[in-house]
Chain A
Amino acid sequence: MFRTTSILLAAILLIAGVSYTEAQEKMSKEEWQRQISEYTAQRNELRSRLDRLNSEIADLKAKASELEASIESCKEETYALVDATDEEIAEFDRAIEDLERRVEELSRMSDDQLLKNMSELDEIWAKLIEYGKTQIGQLPDFYNRINRLKDRLSALQKSMMAKGKVYTVGTWQRDRDCLWNIAKKKNVYANAWRWPKIWQGNRDQIKDPDLIYPGQKLKIPSSAPLTPGERRAANSYYQKKAALSPESTE
């Protein structure tokens, strides 16, 4: 009897031990209650924060669309200031875009390439002046774009001038400017015999090397001995001069 009781007691103790260990691993009721209260408070706080945020977002969205409408109306009022149709404005926009594209291409060119296109800079400049005088050209977008283009062109011209690549012809009375004298200048070639380089480099605007005009912008090719072509052109000029001189006609 005693033996049976002892075995039974041992078995029960074993089961009770296991149950106790499991109970220890589980959360206590007090801990559960504490966490429930903590998380409930947190949830309530988050819910009210979310409500506040939603309300602020709705207000801001309303304000944003109100502002958008005001901006649109402001733009329409501004466009109405000039007497132009949508087509005219679109056409003007395309014209400015073309100039922007061309100036972009010009500013990517090397100095030598740019020198060959100097006359185009002047053409673009003239167009900008013309566009700047139109009513459409006074619209903020166009006005700013025209001015930006002018700034870029002016910077390009200045940079070419600073590199001594362009020479603006002065008056004979004040500067004694002719191709010979220009080539002789220290900031040009310091060598009068190189005048044919200026002539050949500006064939588009100098037909007769004896005729250059005040205000003309001459490209100054890089300093180097005359090329065979330049030498031929110079010889041909000297021969013509010689043929026309009174001594040869006698």
Chain B
Amino acid sequence: MKYVGRLTRSIGVPLLMVAFLAVAGCARGASDDQTAQLDDLMNEVASLEKQVSQKELELSSLVRQVGAKEKELDQCKKDQEATKKRLEGMQ
């Protein structure tokens, strides 16, 4: 009986400790590689957001420019017509 108790202590205690360590320290969190992968992804998203916002600004500026050029062309056509009429009036 005394032998069984000693055996239990000498095997059971280390087993219990190993199991506790495994539960406490391992297999719960993401690995360093995984964390780095997530960081890279987050950085890429941030950089893409910046690019998108720059492109949106460029787009709105181009929309304004095109609008202004359309108006300029309309005005040029009107001016051309008016010039023709004035010149005809001079003859």
Asked if B7 is at the interface (CB within 8 A of a chain A CB), the reply is no
A-side interface mostly:
helix
Instruction: Please give the number of chain B residues whose Cβ is less than 8 angstroms from any Cβ of chain A in the complex.
Output: 45
Asked if B2 is at the interface (CB within 8 A of a chain A CB), the reply is no
Partner of A50, one of B9, B48, B76: B48
* B69 in contact with A68 (CB, 8 Å): yes
* B56 in contact with A19 (CB, 8 Å): no
* B77 in contact with A64 (CB, 8 Å): no
Which of A86-94, A137-145, A150-158 is near enough to bind chain B? A137-145
Contact with B along A104-135 (1 / 0, CB 8 A): 00000000000000000000000000000101
Q: How far is the CA of A32 from the CA of B37 in the complex (A)?
A: 10
* B29 in contact with A23 (CB, 8 Å): yes
Which of A74-82, A95-103, A230-238 is near enough to bind chain B? A74-82
Q: A31: which B residues are within 8 A, CB to CB? A: 30
Q: How far is the CA of A47 from the CA of B52 in the complex (A)?
A: 9
* B70 in contact with A81 (CB, 8 Å): no
Contact with A along B68-81 (1 / 0, CB 8 A): 01101100110110
Q: How far is the CA of A135 from the CA of B84 in the complex (A)?
A: 11
Partner of A29, one of B29, B52, B65, B73: B29
Chosen A-B contacts, 21 in total, with CB atoms closer than 8 Å, are: A9-B17, A12-B21, A16-B25, A22-B25, A26-B30, A27-B35, A27-B38, A32-B30, A39-B42, A50-B55, A57-B62, A67-B69, A71-B73, A74-B73, A74-B76, A78-B79, A135-B90, A138-B86, A139-B83, A140-B76, A140-B80
Residues of B within 8 A of A (CB): 9, 13, 17, 20-21, 24-26, 28-30, 34-35, 37-38, 41-42, 44-45, 48-49, 51-52, 55-56, 58-59, 62-63, 65-66, 69-70, 72-73, 76-77, 79-80, 82-84, 86-87, 90
Residues of A within 8 A of B (CB): 1, 5, 8-9, 12-13, 15-17, 19-20, 22-24, 26-29, 31-32, 35-36, 39-40, 42-43, 46-47, 49-50, 53-54, 56-57, 60-61, 63-64, 67-68, 70-71, 74-75, 77-78, 81-82, 133, 135, 138-140, 143
